[in-house]
Amino acid sequence: MNLTQNPLQTSVVAQSAGEVQAKSIYDEMDPALEKAKCIYDYLQEDIQKMLIEDYIKPQLEEGDKLISLFNELIESEECMHLKYECLIDPVTKIIQNETALAKMRKIDTVGFNSCYEQHFIKKQNTFRLVSDPYISMCMEFVMRRWH
For 28-76, the pLDDT digits (tens) are: 667 887 888 899 899 999 999 999 999 889 988 999 999 999 999 999 9
Q: What is the largest CA-CA distance in the chain?
A: 55
140 φ, ψ (degrees, to nearest 5): -65, -40
Separation between Cα atoms, residue 125 and residue 132, nearest integer Å: 8
Q: What is the pLDDT of residues 5-33, one digit of tens each?
A: 444 444 344 444 444 444 444 456 678 87
User: What's residue 86's pLDDT?
Assistant: 97
Q: What angle do CA 72, 75, 79 make, to 5 degrees?
A: 110
pTM assigned to the model: 0.70
Give the type of residue at 102: A
Separation between Cα atoms, residue 78 and residue 76, nearest integer Å: 5
